[in-house]
Amino acid sequence: MVVITASLMCASQLHLYRDVHSLLKSGIDMFHFDIMDGDFVENIALNIDLIKELRTVTHKKFDAHLMVRKPSKYILKLKEAGVNIIYFHIESSEDPHYIIDFIKREGLEVGLVINPDTPLEKVLPYIERVDYFMFMTVRPGFAGQKFEQSVLHKIEQFQQLTAGKEHIPKLAADGAINAKTLRLLSERGVEVFVGGSAGLFNKEGFNNNLDILKQRDELLPLKNKIEEEIKR
């Protein structure tokens, strides 16, 4: 299954509601909110008040991607704003067990994120405790970067290292997701994809892009056949 979560840092900040409305009409699955502290990454992105306001217009799942040194400072505010899944980085500076317990105690789903250069060994002690495990396929913090091919091998390694484990989290990927990279990732078991400037927020339009990313075009011949049969 392919799940697309729309990265709203890539939307028009001026016409944000217009983009959200069109994404909903086009059948988006979730919304992805990048939260940055200007320290863990050298950028600032979305505001928690914005999440709160958007919660009043949709019941779709919201996920927050914390690119911050201290994830614990944001959990309660994100919960109050209506976020369902909180992703934090293994590279942030707090104890991952503490963050996982905190997020779960608040009744939210928890996702762990790994940067392209961080060794997989770092996440293994936590992997059976999280709902999602997200591979950054670019360096975190900025949209519009090049896909890191080396991550494909890392995902294969992950599959080998976790084979036979009782609980394996859902795999997600963030960065430079387009039709081509999505296919390479989904062949390796990734199911949740962050749609950003590469494959969702571009001039092709949300409906076309979602048809391609969610492979809805592959369903079209079947849909036409059924409709023809109904007409007969």
Q: Which residues bind Zn ion (CB under 5 A)?
A: 34, 65, 174
Q: Is 72 exposed, middle or buried (0-12, 13-18, 19+ CB in 10 A)?
A: middle
Least distance between ligand DX5 and beta carbon 164 (Å): 31
Report what 214 binds from ligand DX5, Zn ion, none; CB cut-off 5-8 Å by kind: none
Contact 170, 201 (CB under 8 A): no
Start-to-end C-alpha separation, the chain: 32
34 is annotated as an active-site residue: yes
Chain Cα centroid distance, residue 178: 13
Q: How far is the CB of 67 from Zn ion (least distance, A)?
A: 7
Q: Which of 29, 34, 37, 211 is catalytic?
A: 34
Residue number of the CB closest to ligand DX5 reads 196
Q: What is the DSSP letter of 41?
A: S
Minimum Å gap between C-beta 195 and Zn ion is 10
User: What is the three-class DSSP state of 223?
Assistant: helix
- Please identify which of the residues 29, 63, 131, 174 carries the catalytic annotation: 174
161 interface partner picked from Zn ion, ligand DX5, none, CB below 5 to 8 A per type: none
Residue among 144, 142, 136 at smallest CA distance from 117: 136
Residue 138 touches which of Zn ion, ligand DX5, none (Cβ within 5-8 Å per kind): ligand DX5
* Nearest residue (CB) to Zn ion, 117 versus 227: 117
Q: Which is nearer to ligand DX5, 31 or 158 (CB)?
A: 31
Contacts of 106 (CB under 8 A, 6+ apart): 75, 76, 79
Q: Is 174 a catalytic residue?
A: yes
- CB-wise, 105 or 203, nearer to ligand DX5? 203
* Dihedral sign for Cα atoms in the order 145, 209, 190, 54: positive
Burial class of 160 by CB neighbour count within 10 A (0 to 12, 13 to 18, 19+): exposed
| Contacting positions for ligand DX5 (CB under 6 A) | 7, 9-10, 32, 34, 65, 138, 140-145, 174-177, 194, 196-198
Query: Taking the complex as a whole, how short is the minimal distance between the CB of residue 174 and ligand DX5, in angstroms?
Result: 5
- List active site positions: 34, 174
